[in-house]
Structure 1
């Protein structure tokens, strides 16, 4: 992995270069902040070792510029002018860690290892998010007919909106795939996507799963449990076959839809959530409303 050393002291550069090579990584060097930023433009850098006291552009300015360029860049600050104030400021500006001079070699390398682990995790998360985005891209929904093209247009219109979504269609037509496409093209894409199999469980169990419960709320509730709405906070909840939800549960869902709040079973505290509801059904909901079953 590539590690950039930005420091105007040649001796320190040499020491860090040797340590980095011993770890099997590639050292890149710069003597000023301007040179360091130029290296970042040319090279793929996994971690930056940055001295705060630099000629010309101050290290704190360099830190801010690096973070503006790549908010996920791992930056370890090293300086002889150690103070709690500068440490707090550096960490506030996004530094991964802060090491004062003089330092022990093992201390620096331990921090570098941890920083590179953080970089790997961030890269893996980016790759996973991209895989999810591609997995639920429109190209993976089969169909090129005029009606299907209209479906793609509707997904593009619905995804960025804040409103809840109802998807109608026969069984096997890909309603859940459409729901996932809406979620993964929305502003909530990095939040959770939680699926609720609405018709596959009794009403009391469904409510426990949706809203959670506190200890002792019912026989067998030996511990408190968070519900699916809490787990989906910041994301989307997909109700598969929402027409199968009992009327009593529907009234409680209405409060979540209107007020964005609920209470766990057996609890008294109101819990606020930020979720988008995407529902699907193959039922004729208009007829069910007229019959009083929905």
Structure 2
């Protein structure tokens, strides 16, 4: 018989246009007890966000079509997700983040390459900060 977990699993939507990155992060997060789902573009991510309930959006910044920052702003504005963590290996991300700040949005960002222990710690910290609110 399985013991009931004291808290429900936190859900994370992982968005990256590189399937291997999204799938690997889903495996890492699932192994840590998160309910993690992958999306490979912003449109698919929006559909998943609208149809499900996610605690955190973990998204690459530079993707074709809608950027991760645009996805994050839209998701937060529409109350589709509680927390956002972005990741990028591109130095031009600073300009995109500054434009988001001018619109009143501030997001944390992880530099690629992503290390599993770092992403898990950042997600746990972000979600813990939201639990008390």
TM tier relative to shorter chain: 0.7 to 0.9
C-alpha change, 1:19 and 1:86, in structure 2 (3 Å) is: farther
- Counterpart selection for 1:105 from 116, 121, 124: 116
Larger Rg: 1 or 2? 1
C-alpha change, 1:23 and 1:86, in structure 2 (3 Å) is: farther
Q: Is the 8 A contact 1:3 1:28 kept in 2?
A: yes
Q: Determine helix, strand or coil for the equivalent of 1:109.
A: helix
User: What is the deviation of 1:72?
Assistant: 6.8
Q: Is the 8 A contact 1:49 1:78 kept in 2?
A: yes
C-alpha change, 1:88 and 1:114, in structure 2 (3 Å) is: same
Please, which runs of 5 or more residues in structure 1 have no aligned partner?
Answer: 123-294
Quick check: 46-55 or 85-94, which moved more? 85-94
C-alpha change, 1:86 and 1:77, in structure 2 (3 Å) is: farther
Q: Is the 8 A contact 1:74 1:115 kept in 2?
A: yes
Q: Is the 8 A contact 1:5 1:13 kept in 2?
A: yes
Q: What does residue range 181-260 of structure 1 map to in structure 2 within 5 Å?
A: none
- Structure 1 residues 135-175: Cα deviation after superposition (integer angstroms, max 9, x where no partner): xxxxxxxxxxxxxxxxxxxxxxxxxxxxxxxxxxxxxxxxx
TM-score, scaled to structure 2: 0.80
Q: Is the 8 A contact 2:62 2:88 kept in 1?
A: yes
Q: What does residue range 130-145 of structure 1 map to in structure 2 within 5 Å?
A: none
Matched, 1:16 2:54: no
- Look up the match of 2:74: 65
TM-score, scaled to structure 1: 0.38
Bigger relative contact order (CA 8 A; separation at least 6)? 2
Count of residues in Structure 1 that have an aligned counterpart in Structure 2:
121
CA distance in 1, matches of 2:97, 2:25: 24
Q: Determine helix, strand or coil for the equivalent of 2:129.
A: helix
Q: Determine helix, strand or coil for the equivalent of 2:121.
A: helix
Q: Is the 8 A contact 2:58 2:87 kept in 1?
A: yes
Q: What does residue range 122-133 of structure 1 map to in structure 2 within 5 Å?
A: 122=133
Please, what is the CA RMSD of the aligned residues?
A: 2.1
C-alpha change, 1:102 and 1:91, in structure 2 (3 Å) is: farther
Q: What does residue range 35-54 of structure 1 map to in structure 2 within 5 Å?
A: 35-54=44-63
- Look up the match of 2:12: 3
Matched, 1:115 2:126: yes
CA distance in 2, matches of 1:17, 1:71: 19
- Counterpart selection for 2:42 from 33, 55, 70: 33
- Counterpart selection for 1:94 from 95, 102, 106: 106
Q: Determine helix, strand or coil for the equivalent of 1:73.
A: strand
Matched, 1:85 2:85: no
- Structure 1 residues 33-83: Cα deviation after superposition (integer angstroms, max 9, x where no partner): 111111111111000101111122122211210111128721000111135
